[in-house]
Structure 1
């Protein structure tokens, strides 16, 4: 490794350590998304997922959904795959314009990663025991994580503030940054305020909303135009729109975010968790339904 390359990687690692919210919803958010997804998996998909999961997961997809954040320093190349930055104040997303890393390498962003790992699973999964040039277990874990990430509005935030990471605010009395508020702190505050600090109760409440409050919306969440297997560009477009309407609004540098912000943004966060779970399940169902038919043929 050259000296300049080592310096750049070291600088990137320092930035990640200083900015806690740069890479994910947080363990609770990712766990919730995958636990919701498990409920909507078909029998074929559930069987395929359980075969692909590492033994340590004991058949539970939700257990490994935070994995992509946990390995980000070992797989340093994966850091750029957790988000996509968009032009400041444009409030829109375009794959060809936006999906690249900080060095300009195309397709290296969260939507590109979702396309890539969906392709790996869809093109390689016929017989779990067959040889594949891809690590399908890692493909499943990356895909499950990144579908969650693209639904976090500030993972499709502005380039100038690194998706809210450089916007320093207070969450009640605690100093933090806006990205971290959306990754973790809204969920943490909701757990303490409304769900007796029990993530399982929060997940049950979101699932109840999917069954009743959002039942008419669920089919449109699951659908992809042109019968595509996955459609992350739609999810990214939704996220940047929500970032402009809700995440950035009334959250200027130095501001203190309290009840007004929390109570008006919590429904957005819970709906995005729900949409991510439903869409992850729909994507896996399409992947494994196709391969089940191939295997039968």
Structure 2
């Protein structure tokens, strides 16, 4: 029961945090809201069973949990699970080459984390509610890390720590390139187009998924035969977008504003949508009671 008392306390802590945070809040919340709307009945029931009562049945209420606890001594080991460092300018991802921490431990990256927690959650259909204590954290980590792997600079270059050391200005204030993609682009879009209302932005994303610009792409986004290969492909997408859109034309000390914002905003919005669709796909599959509907031996 300690875990659920801890999660309850953490939920109340979230309510006291400032609302202006980045992909660690708005982006992750949007990703999880999109995903929850796409869950099938089996996955909905499983998610409801695993969420702490304080979440009120809302997965997005817990999708920033992994960021909040990563610096706590108990969870410090999870810090490298939020990203992937790739060789500078390689613009590619290779699991055996890139998925490790600074101590060269394999699987210690966001792609490895998604593999691990997806595998853990496949136990739920067999164990049911009795597995709750063991699998709640797996659900929260998976929901967060699927968001992380879709942020292009969470699969970035080693030397600049995914753009974290590239200091620059975003319009009139100091920032860095990673922060621009984590937070600034989303917050600027909210201010410019949605009256700072994430609900309106969510409606726009969902509209484009159901009968808008992405509706024809959704079946392709959620197609997955072997989960490990799919996760590798998501990481490969991100590093290629990082090279083509995030790093392109950027130098330390410069000011990024309208031109950068206007051209990169569609990329950020599509990545949020893809992350939501793919998180729903994973949860629908791992919680499937039909062996043919799940991943089976592919993980």
Q: TM-score, normalised by structure 2?
A: 0.86
Structure 1 distance, partners of 2:188, 2:102, is 33
Structure 1 distance, partners of 2:172, 2:89, is 28
Q: Mapping of 1:158-173 within 5 angstroms?
A: 158-173=157-172
Structure 1 distance, partners of 2:105, 2:266, is 36
Give the Å deviation of 1:131: 4.9
Change (3 A) 1:217 1:195: same
Q: Mapping of 1:203-222 within 5 angstroms?
A: 203-211=202-210, 212-222=212-222
Change (3 A) 1:40 1:230: farther
Q: Does the 8 Å contact 2:125/2:288 carry over to 1?
A: no
Q: Does the 8 Å contact 2:42/2:289 carry over to 1?
A: no
Residue 56 of structure 1: aligned partner: 54
Find the residue that maps to 1:160 and give its secondary structure: coil
Give the Å deviation of 1:290: 3.8
Residue 244 of structure 1: aligned partner: 243
Task: Give every structure 1 segment of 4 or more consecutive aligned residues whose post-TM-superposition deviation is greater than 3 Å.
Answer: 290-294
Structure 1 distance, partners of 2:229, 2:95, is 14
**Unmatched 5+ residue regions in structure 1?**
1-23
Residue 39 of structure 2: aligned partner: 41
Q: Deviations over 1:236-294 (max 9, x none)?
A: 00000000000001221111000000011000000000000000000000011146889
2:171 aligned with 1:175: no
**Unmatched 5+ residue regions in structure 2?**
1-21, 294-299
Q: Does the 8 Å contact 1:229/1:286 carry over to 2?
A: no
Structure 2 distance, partners of 1:284, 1:209, is 22
Give the length in aligned residue pairs. Answer: 270
Find the residue that maps to 1:163 and give its secondary structure: coil
Structure 1 distance, partners of 2:221, 2:186, is 22
Residue 93 of structure 1: aligned partner: 93
Give the Å deviation of 1:224: 1.2
Q: TM-score, normalised by structure 1?
A: 0.87
Q: Does the 8 Å contact 2:33/2:60 carry over to 1?
A: yes
Structure 1 distance, partners of 2:99, 2:116, is 13
Give the Å deviation of 1:39: 1.0
Change (3 A) 1:124 1:38: closer
Is 204-213 or 238-247 further displaced after alignment? 204-213
Q: Does the 8 Å contact 1:52/1:128 carry over to 2?
A: no
Residue 266 of structure 1: aligned partner: 265
Give the Å deviation of 1:192: 0.3
Residue 70 of structure 1: aligned partner: 68
Structure 2 distance, partners of 1:109, 1:277, is 20
Cα RMSD of the aligned pairs, angstroms, is 1.9
Structure 1 distance, partners of 2:140, 2:146, is 10
Structure 2 distance, partners of 1:283, 1:205, is 23
Residue 136 of structure 1: aligned partner: 135
Residue 232 of structure 1: aligned partner: 231
Give the Å deviation of 1:56: 1.1
2:126 aligned with 1:126: yes
Find the residue that maps to 2:122 and give its secondary structure: helix
Find the residue that maps to 1:85 and give its secondary structure: strand
Structure 2 distance, partners of 1:172, 1:35, is 29
2:284 aligned with 1:285: yes
Change (3 A) 1:125 1:77: farther
Give the Å deviation of 1:125: 4.1
Change (3 A) 1:216 1:153: same
Structure 1 distance, partners of 2:131, 2:147, is 29
